[in-house]
Chains A and B, each alone.
Chain A
Amino acid sequence: MNEPLKRILLVEDDPDVQTIASMALIDIGEFDLTVCSSGREALERVAGIKPQMILLDVMMPDMDGPSTLEEIRRLPLSPQPPVIFMTAKVQPQEQQRYLSLGAIEVIAKPFDPVTLADQLHAAWARLDDGA
């Protein structure tokens, strides 16, 4: 994975947060960002988008973040993109639970849009190191 991080899929139901995150990732992070408003939408589009990384909100109507992750992991994606959860539930147990589900990182809400891109890069870099 020497490829620099570019394509990112954001799954977030709240339009305001979508806007803030989009600005942070597109304007500041200069990523190639696709935003889906629900887990279902993400599942439908993820294969086409082929994101290098997925930013996944936890609390969503219909299908929450963990369920969406589970479904994504069942898709025949190669490679499976790493997932970072974004959540307002930042208690340690909750964080652990999300990590144990296979997320590489948990970003607490409210997040700092100015540094969000940096966080993603750092996570990407760690993945590289780990590999």
Chain B
Amino acid sequence: MQRPLKLRTSIVLTFGGLAFLTMTLVALIVGSSSRTLAERDARLRLNAAAVQVRNRLDQDMFERFRDIRNAAALSPLFTEGNAPLRRAWFDRILSTYPDYAWLGFASLDGTVVTSANGVLEGQSVAARPWFREGSKAPFVGDVHSALLLEKVLPNPSGEPMRFVDVATPVMDPEGRTIGVLGAHLSWQWARRIRQTVTASLDEGDQGIEIFILDHAGTVLLGPDTFVDHPLKLAGLAAPTVAAQSRLVVWPDQQPYLTTTVATEGYLSFPGLGWSVTIRQPRAIAFAQAQAIQRHVLWIGLGAALLVAAIAWLLAGRLTRPLTTLSEAAHRIRKGEAGVTLPRLRGFFEVASLAHSLNAMTTTLERQRSDLTDLNATLEMRIARRTAALNLMQEVATAANEADDLDTAVRFGLDRLCAHLGWPVGHARRIAAGPAGRAAPATIDLWHLDDPDRFAPFVVATQGFAFAENAGLAGAVIAQRAPVWQADVGRVTGFRRQAVAEACGLVTALAFPVVAGGRTELVVQCFADRPIAEDAESLSIAGFVGLQLSRAAERLAAADRLAEREGRLTAIYDSVLDGIITINPSGSIETMNRAAERVFGHPPGSLLRRNLRLLMAEPFASAYESELMRHLADGGGDFLGTVRELEGLHADGTRFPMEVAFTAATIGERRLLVAAVRDITERRAIERLKNEFVSTVSHELRTPLTSISGALALMAKGTAGTLPDKALGLVAIARSNCDRLVRLINDILDLERIEAGNLVFEFEVVDIADLLDRLVRETAEFAQKYNVELEIAPAVPEVMVWGDRHRLMQVLANLVSNAVKFSPDAGTVTVGATLEDGKIHVTVTDRGRGIPDEFKSRIFQKFAQADASDSRQKGGTGLGLSIVKSIVERHGGTVGFSSQSQVGSTFWFDLPEKHAPLTAPGLPAEESRRKVLICEDDKDVGHILTLHLEQAGYQSLWAHTAAEARELLRQHDFVAMTLDLGLPDQDGLQLLNMIKADPATATMPVVIVSGRADAGGDRLGIADWITKPVMPERLIAALDQIRSSRDRPTVLHVEDDPDIVDLVSAALQSKADLVAAGSLAAARLALEQARFDVIVLDVGLPDGSGLDLLDTIDAMEGGPKPAVVLFSAQEPHPSRRDEMAAVLVKSQASLDHLADMIGQALTQRRASSPRQPTG
């Protein structure tokens, strides 16, 4: 930034500059005027000189011309004989005017008669111009060299001699020309004139030079270098009579002021046409003008300087007070002491300014001192506040971080005493007294600046217990707030007054540390001087107390938590089951000891590892996918289910374990808790139990076999006839033996059902059929008790999905019970009803009913209403338990109703299995079956159509053979009727065509004709019906065709040829059977033909028959064959659904198999319309 100009400098520069500008302007104007004037003066001077030279030349020439003419006019002088006189006169003239070089008179013939000094007398001048011209008229000749005279005249200068001629004719008084008078003027004449003028002009060295030029511009006279040369100057006008001057650059390249003027003659003298040119160097010519200009400039400059000097002085005077003010202000600003602004007089404005500044300065000075004071106060307060804040922060931090309360309290005490500057601080723990009251404490914490000095105080303090309601501690405990005592000597109940006084302790500050609503500690600080109560210190003390209270609360809570955690951990680690918590990603967060023990891993080694590491394959993968599914939708039975799987021990062995997952939410986190139990031992026990049961059953049965066999043989008399009494005893033994066997069987059954080990063979069971069989099989038994067994009317045709034999067992049990508890000649009714899609099967007796007190126990094991029943009725007491278990395994429910002395009804419900109806009627699929009627007789055609439609066929009627062919092309027919007598073609010819066409070759054709049967077999005719048509016959024929064509094809996949033969024999009447001995053969057969049913063996030489299921799944087009598994093995339950039926070899009869195949076929037909095969 540019520094501003000083006021004084500014004034000086302004005025000096103005003066300088003015003076310069004046000098320029004056100088210019003076110069113009001087130049004009120089020009005039030169002009005048030129005119003077010219005039002198003209005048002199005129005088000489006049002289000569005057002389010629003196005719006597030129008369003959006057020659001496003439000569004398001539001499006289020559002597008086020295510029005449020669003077003479020549006669007309040109001979010089007389001359001055006799020069050239006698010589001829006839050729001379002056003579020739002069003889005619007065003549003045221009300057020239004189050839004749040069030789005779003396030439002192040595220059070439030049002359100007003047001549005039001389006449006699009669006016006749007698001769010519002529004179030569010497060139010295002109030179003299020039010198004279030059001398007059060129006073001093004015550099003026004069040139005389002839009419052609050649220099006649001038500086030697110019003589005889033409003078050509650019810019110089031709000479005129009036003089004119110019500045002209001459050949020496110097500017000269140049004046030129022409001669003009004088009176009768015409002039020679010369001109005069005068030059003067410009510098000299204008020297004066320039001198004037310079002079004026110098004067101007001087004047300007003078003005500037005056301005300087003036400005100094003007700015002096301001400078003084400025300097004073500057010094004040620099903070020099004792400087005041001067009181200035003189200019009003300055005085006013100074006054104002003075006032302002005073104000500012006062404010500054105020600010300084304020600043100092503030800084002090900030320092104190900062110290307090630091203290608070440190105490808070220490309280937060302290691991025990003493550390925190000691820190707080030290810092507080240091902050206050008090020498003694003391904290005492208030022990919990009876009923939560404060009681004497044992723990003291001290802050002592000077232990020796305050030792008595310490001793005194330790020597007494804090009173609850008195003294400082009492006040603090009562108020639960900081207490300030400016003088402890005045506190009532302060028992250390004396020793405090002795130690010089005066002021006290005390505050409580409270935790759990109880004052844990009282902290006291003592000052050795009286200090008035200070709100800030109190607040700090309160804060410290609060922080320590929080620490106390926190530590107490931490203690409680640690204790609880320890207890929980102890429980957690002491349970027998493994407990593992995992996060949702599956990694292990905690494991209890039992879990570590179960898996044999070192403690902590599995943390953050995935739980699946603890499971054997394939369970690990299954678990993982289940976990994923659970996490994805939260559903499934992942949680809460106890699953059995194989765990993986650290040593790599697998062991059975039970795992149950439950979810837990801790804070925001979801955790899964896995409870793990090693069930190796349980498995072992189960195995032992199974073996035991198996063994027991064997060991019990073996003797029973002998006993019962022996008794049977005895009873039969094989060992000889027994007496009746013995027979009676044998009968008793036999029946009890049977009962024992039943009991053993029931026990085993029940055990297996409950253990889930009983295998059920589910199939479609017809309830009505079941009841029929039940009645048949139990009739004998009922008869024994003289009880009639009946089936209720209107048993619906319903199917259930169940195990036929087990259901029979259920019903037999119920009937057995009913019969046993029926009165003599009573009736037991079995019935079934369909209610809400459930089959309700009932067994009703009309016995004495079930006692109320027994109703709740009736399905329990060994439950019998009367302890004697078991013996009386021969029951085991397990029957209803078995019933309940079996029904529940079927997804059903079991129950009873009973009325005393009226009877009981036991029932069970099973869900209905929707099986296709095979009832008579018109199955829907057949409505699409088309039959072509080819018949020309309208009545017959109508009758056929009607009958076929009634029978469920769709008929199309062709009246001619052509129409028939057309319809055959457009439709697929299952069969056709053909009249042989057609209008356009013989029926047999049409038949031949039909049989010849591969598309229709297999279609059965029924001949309906008036003709008698004429070798239908040969023609490939299905049937031959003669008119008049009997509709039953026709339909029967068609149905038979259809049924024969509907013979199902069965693929029997079986490697045992004997079984193939057996099955083939069994199915012969019902189906066409293709056998395949291996998987490969089966696949080949499936490629080549379409089967309705596949009977599948599992154990095949080249793999499992179940693999074929995939091949069947992959089959395209048309309905897939139904699969009946006929194997020694049962398939995995997961594959059950893919099969229509599962039969276990040797268990199921071939009839059973045939039934199954028939059912599979029916189901399949119902689910998918069969493709036309014609």
Interface set of A (CB-CB < 8 Å, partner B): 14, 16-17, 19-21, 23-24, 27-28, 59, 87-93, 95-96, 99-100, 103, 109-114, 130
Contacts and interface: CB of A to CB of B under 8 A. Distances in A.
A111 B706 CA distance: 9
Nearest to A110: B705
Contact of B709 (A21, A88, A95, A99): A21
B259 interface: no
28 contacts: A16-B710, A17-B702, A17-B705, A17-B706, A17-B709, A19-B710, A20-B710, A21-B709, A24-B709, A24-B713, A24-B718, A28-B716, A88-B702, A89-B694, A89-B698, A91-B752, A93-B759, A96-B1128, A96-B1144, A99-B1128, A99-B1147, A100-B1128, A110-B701, A110-B737, A111-B709, A112-B708, A113-B709, A113-B710
Closest 7 CB pairs of A and B: A99-B1146, A88-B701, A20-B709, A16-B706, A110-B705, A113-B709, A88-B698
A130 B708 CA distance: 33
Nearest to A97: B1128
A16 B703 contact: yes
A95 B1148 CA distance: 12
Nearest to A86: B705
A87 B695 CA distance: 12
A16 to B, nearest CB: 4
Interface in B742-789: 745, 748, 752, 757-759
Contacts of A130: 1058, 1062
A96 B1147 contact: yes
Contact of B1145 (A17, A91, A99): A99
A88 B700 CA distance: 9
Interface in B680-724: 694, 697-710, 712-713, 715-716, 718-719
Nearest to B1130: A96
Contacts of A111: 705, 709
Contacts of A20: 705-706, 709-710, 713
B741 interface: yes
A23 B713 contact: yes
B952 to A, nearest CB: 39
B718 A27 contact: yes
Contacts of A91: 748, 752
A118 B700 CA distance: 25
A89 B1147 contact: no
Contacts of B758: 92
B741 A113 contact: no
A112 B718 CA distance: 13
A38 B606 CA distance: 57
Contacts of A24: 709, 713, 718
Most buried by A among B700, B718, B752, B759: B718
A95 B705 CA distance: 18
Nearest to B695: A59
Nearest to A105: B1146
Contacts of B702: 14, 17, 59, 88, 109
Given A91-B748, A103-B1146, A111-B709, 7 more contacts: A20-B713, A21-B709, A23-B709, A92-B758, A96-B1144, A100-B1146, A112-B712
Interface in B239-256: none
B321 to A, nearest CB: 134
Nearest to A130: B1062
Contact of A109 (B705, B710, B759): B705
B713 to A, nearest CB: 5
A119 B621 CA distance: 52
A88 B706 CA distance: 12
Contact of B718 (A28, A90, A103): A28
A21 B706 CA distance: 9
Interface string B1139-1154: 0000011110000000
A110 B701 CA distance: 6
A96 B1146 contact: yes
Contacts of A96: 1128, 1144, 1146-1147
B718 A23 contact: yes
A95 B752 contact: no
B1128 to A, nearest CB: 4
Contacts of A89: 694, 697-698
Contacts of B709: 17, 20-21, 23-24, 110-113
Nearest to B752: A91
Contacts of B716: 28, 114
A64 to B, nearest CB: 11
Contacts of B703: 16
A88 B745 CA distance: 10
Contacts of B712: 112-114
Contacts of A27: 713, 718
A56 to B, nearest CB: 15
Contacts of B759: 92-93
Interface in B407-459: none
Most buried by B among A28, A88, A112, A114: A88
A90 B1147 CA distance: 13
A100 B710 contact: no
Nearest to B738: A110
A100 B1145 contact: yes
